[in-house]
Amino acid sequence: MINWNEIETKWRNKWSESKDFETNPNDKPKKFITVAYPYPNSPQHIGHGRTYTLADVHARFYRMQGYNVLFPMGFHYTGTPVLGMAKRIEKGEKEILDGLRNIYHVPEEDIKTFVEPIKIADYFHEEIKSGMIEMGYSIDWRREFTTIVPGYQKFIEWQITTLKENGRIIQGSHPVGWCPKDQNPVSQHDTMGDVEPKIDDKNFLVKFKFGEFVFPITTLRPETIFGITNLWVNPNTVYKKVTVDHETWIISEECAHKIEFFEKDVSIIGDIPGTELIGKSAVSLHNNAEIPILPADFVEPSMGTGLVMSVPAHAPKDYQALMDLKAKNHEIASKIEPIPIIVTEGYGAIPAKDICEKLGVSDQADSKLEEATKELYLKEFTDGKLNEKCGQFNNEKVQFGRDKVRVWLQENKHLEKFPVLENSPVRCRCGAECVVKILNNQWFLNYGDESWKELARNCFDEMNILPSNIKTEFIEVIDWLHERACARQQGLGTKLPWDKDWIVESLSDSVIYMAYYTISRFVNDGTVQPENLTREFFDYVLLDKGDVALAASTSKLSEDVINTMKKEFQYFYPVDSRHSGRDLVQNHLSFFVLNHVAIFEKKYWPQEIVVNGSVMMDGAKMSKSMGNIIPLRTAIKDHGADPIRLAIISSAELLQDADFNMESVSGIQSKLASLLDECSRLKNEPVSELQAEDRWILSKTQRMISQVTEAVEKMRLREALHDILFSFESDLSWYAKRVEAKERDNVSGILHQINSARVAMLSPFAPHIAEEMWEKLGNNELVSKSSWPAYSKEDVDATSIQSENFLKSTIDDIANILKVTKITPKKIVLYVNSDSAKSKIYRKMLSIMVGGQNNMGVVMKELIADPETADAKKMPDFVQKTIKDLHSESEEIKQMKLESESFDEKEFLKSELFSIGKKEFGVEIQVYSESNSDIYDPKGKARHARPFKPAILIE
């Protein structure tokens, strides 16, 4: 049994002694590999490990290919989650404390300090970092930073100022979920049950006049104002007269409390019962029509303003309420007829009537109305068209017309936004019910700007996206992205330089920070102090703006230091590969590109993005509530870092979700153990004369090298690993079979050569155990410092590949016959083709078919056209069968057959088939030429022989 941790510690120490991963500029070509830094509010689990492991493999691969690779790491402290955690811990909430104790095994004395948010981040920072070291990540730790250190904050101030000056930042109002008690915005982390407060900002308020008052009514469908027949008021509700800024509104009390958070001046000045409104009329502002006010029980004071506009032609509820009144012979209602304004295929003049009848709605209390409403709204939205009643909007499709009507009303001040909580009630952890608050003066990154989007598209066009099929998703994201708030009022982070009430939002301060890795080294070693990092300094170093004298005078640094830092930035930038999880495509990764193109010149735009899927645990999503989260460090202790690295990589290709399970881990462990065992037994002896199977396995090795290299270049790591560890195994076992049959004992040198290549290629994936194997193979240097095996075409022997193939297929054929006939062979005889006419035709056909032609008629014509092969017409049967043979062979094999000129089937079979045949079938195999005069051929099989397809006789 292998002691993984012991081996891992041994090699980790050697790496850190040799400082191989500490990267400074030199004269080699560079690669700059980065991963999204972690947010330290919990230890990393196996899922986090995936992205970092992929990046580490990438970095190690490039290093072996001779690049000077920079692979750094930082920690993202910015944000609010640790604030919420600290609060909950302070309150002693059992759920979170149990999680810390039982899942994360945080020592009690540390938990005590967690009432302070930064202590939480600090603790998990160290935890995560230790895990990364134990996983063997080849990180340059000298450049590490957190996002709240002064140097980084200087950088963020510079970034956000630059964006503002480039016109990328605008100001506006924005609705957020809000806790009225805490006076804070709420996000998922702040609510009971971790629900995300969802804000519906497609909800609007349309104003009507009622004498001196404003009668505001909310709706999701502004276009239906053209179909209003009346308004609904609840007769059992007492409404309030409320002054709102300079108007007096009639609304429900509940509504009055909601709009207090809309940055409006609100005060309740009196009551007015619903009954007092009923029977009177309001006036609609867009056409000054008199709209009667009628009673309806379904109107809920807590919904919207507590007032409802009635569109009976298109709203099932309104239709039914109207019908109910008519049935009671209500005087006003009986004069009202629905006004249809939307034409939808499949519905008659009054769609609401149709659907109520279809579903058999009985009255306005009928629960089927919900369903009717949902169905009709959706149908009318997707398929409906506005009609002539809608004036200038006649013939517009509803899905576009709605927006146009909204804009029109808004411009005339007849309509306002009325955002609501879609999933209310949402409760804050403090217990209070959350509301929607409109924040004025919010700062936005103007991602909606078309010229900005265009720059980003240019960048994506030239960027390498892995896997490539996710590129369309990026393009789509850029299309729908619009203004995004870039500041918030709480949490850790950097203050907006021009408005200290706000903190730079945490996704906005993590988009171009890779540039800071080239600077942090100098801050960490004391060469520069945070206060040296002035705007002019960054402008000069990162943008090549201004001049060194200016930078030096404001930063108080020497010109030498500044120029060294500038050179370092210019050496490492741009980012060559950015690794991240799939969930970050829609935000971080897109912002990463947008911010780069907004700030840097084109030569510093990112070169590549690699996106990976998440990790499942035994087929299920990992979650705290399921208790199936395995902290990475626990897993390392239990199974070893390398087996975990391989298990994560080998279970899925990049974008797919990887499934982590114990079977695969132990499978990998035993695979690695047996490879290690093999390596320690192989001697690096000189290789004597090569035999057929030696040339073959060496050719196959070359093929594997080229396949693996290509796969890693495309980050198809699962495929690469599979090739190294598993696919190649079947070739090796065939080789072993051949060697054993021949009773050879001098192949150690060849296997040593092959396994050296395998171990070298394995080392980026499983770096520790590969070092151990490398040492066992007799090397003194580290494998991580060795070169990636190079594919050499000269070592590929086409003839040997072809001949081994021939041997295998012959043996398969024999086995096949034995299987079908179920006889035990006493004698096996092969008849090899020796008819030169057949051979000529075969070669000719080969050349025709390599060109892509497979049609019997065409092939035949070409054969007959050539006098050399004209005899083909006498044996159509042979031609047809041969076409079939060749048909099923790969292009590669066909090509090789063509390349290898003459090949003596009989000699080859005689020398090679003897041993293996005897081993496989227990009898000696005799080989004849079909044309031999003295052959043993009692059944006349010999004449069936075709090139590369000997006839077989079994008795």
Partner RNA sequence: GCGGGAGUCGCCCAGCCUGGUCAAAGGCGUAGGGCUUAGGACCCUAUAUCUCAGGAUUUCGUGGGUUCAAAUCCCACCUCCCGCACCA
Greatest CA separation found in the chain?
123
Q: Which two tokens stand for residue 261?
A: 């958070």
Buried b (16+ CB within 10 A) or exposed e, 580-598: bbbebbeebbbbbbbbbbb
- Could you tell me the smallest distance in angstroms from the CB atom of residue 125 to RNA? 12
Q: What is the DSSP letter of 467?
A: S
* Closer Cβ to RNA, 309 or 585, answer by number: 585
Q: Which is nearer to RNA, 36 or 783 (CB)?
A: 36
Q: How far is the CB of 596 from RNA (least distance, A)?
A: 18
Residue 811 CA to residue 511 CA, distance in Å, equals 60
Smallest separation, CB 188 to RNA (Å) = 6
At position 27, the amino acid (one-letter code) is D
3-state helix, strand, coil in the chain (%, to 5): 50, 15, 35
Burial 153-164 (b: 16+ CB within 10 A, else e): bbbbbbbbbbbb
Closest distance to RNA from the beta carbon of 416 (Å): 18
> Please, are residues 530 and 151 in contact by the beta-carbon 8 Å criterion?
yes
Give dist(CA 84, CA 192) in Å, integer. Answer: 11
Q: How many of the other CB atoms lie within 10 Å of CB of 733?
A: 10
- According to DSSP, the β-strands at 266-273 and 238-244 are antiparallel
Which helix (H) or strand (E) segment is 668 a member of?
helix 662-681
Task: List the structure tokens of 382.
Answer: 């997707």
Residue 356 or 492 having the CB closest to RNA: 492
Least Å distance, CB 759 to RNA, is 23
Between helix 632-639 and helix 117-134 the angle, nearest 10°, is 30
Distance CA 833, CA 851 (A): 25
Cβ at position 820, least distance to RNA in Å? 4
User: Encoding tokens for residue 771?
Assistant: 């070092």
**Three-point CA angle 838, 841, 845, nearest 5°:** 135
Q: Which is nearer to RNA, 313 or 652 (CB)?
A: 652
Q: Report the DSSP pairing between strands 30-35 and 68-70.
A: parallel
Nearer to RNA, 220 or 543 (CB): 220
Q: Closer CB to RNA, residue 549 or residue 858?
A: 858
Closer by beta carbon to RNA, 234 or else 701: 701
Q: Of 489 and 779, which CB lies nearer to RNA in the complex structure?
A: 489
Nearest to 663 by CA among 704, 618, 608, 715: 618
Instruction: Please identify, using beta-carbon distances, which residue of 714 and 840 lies nearer to RNA.
Output: 714
* Token pair in block for residue 114: 């967690």
In the complex with RNA, the residue whose CB is nearer, 278 or 711, is: 711
Which residue number, 191 or 691, has a Cβ lying nearer to RNA?
A: 191
To RNA, the closest distance from the beta carbon of 440 in angstroms equals 14
Residue type, 692: A
Three-state DSSP state, 147:
coil
**Residue 664 Cβ vs RNA, minimum distance, rounded to whole Å:** 9
Nearer to RNA, 62 or 443 (CB): 443
Measured distance CA(216)–CA(205) in Å, rounded: 6
Residue 46 has a CB neighbour count (10 Å cut-off) of 23
**Closest separation in Å from C-beta 362 to RNA:** 30
For the bound state, the minimum distance from the C-beta of residue 911 to RNA, rounded and expressed in Å, comes to 19
β-bridge pairing 577-581 and 30-35: parallel
Nearer to RNA, 506 or 699 (CB): 506
Please identify, using beta-carbon distances, which residue of 323 and 438 lies nearer to RNA: 438
CB of 437 to RNA, least distance (A): 11
3-state secondary structure (DSSP) of residue 953: strand
Please give the backbone phi and psi of residue 569, each rounded to the nearest 5 degrees, phi first.
-60, -45
Q: Are 520 and 533 in contact (CB under 8 A)?
A: no
Judged by beta carbon, residue 250 or residue 486, the one nearer RNA is: 486
Using the structure block, give the residue that is written with the tokens 């193979």. Answer: 777
Please, where are the H alpha helices in 145-280?
A: 150-165, 253-259, 274-277
Q: Rounded to an integer, what distance in angstroms lies between the CA atom of residue 768 and that of residue 759?
A: 11
Strand-by-strand arrangement of the 925-929 sheet: 925-929, 828-832, 951-954
Q: For the CB of residue 888, give the shortest distance to RNA in the complex, in Å.
A: 4
Is the Cβ of residue 89 or residue 952 nearer to RNA in the bound state?
952
CB 591, min distance to RNA, A: 9
Nearer to RNA, 361 or 715 (CB): 715
DSSP 363-411: STT-THHHHHHHHHHHHHHHH-EE-GGGGGGTT-BHHHHHHHHHHHHHH
Terminal C-alpha separation, the chain:
49
The pair phi, psi for residue 488, each rounded to 5°, is -145, 175
The closest alpha carbon to 262, from 420, 69, 47, belongs to 420
Minimum CB distance to RNA, residue 856 (Å)? 8
The smaller minimum CB distance to RNA, of residues 443 and 788, is found at: 443
Q: How far is the CB of 473 from RNA (least distance, A)?
A: 4
CB 669 within 8 A of CB 640: yes
Yes or no: say if 522 and 561 are a contact pair by the CB < 8 Å rule. yes
CB of 733 to RNA, least distance (A): 11
| Minimum distance, C-beta of residue 722 to RNA, in the bound complex (Å) | 8
The least CB distance from residue 306 to RNA, in Å, is: 26
Q: Is the N-terminal amide bond of 467 cis, ω within 30° of 0?
A: yes
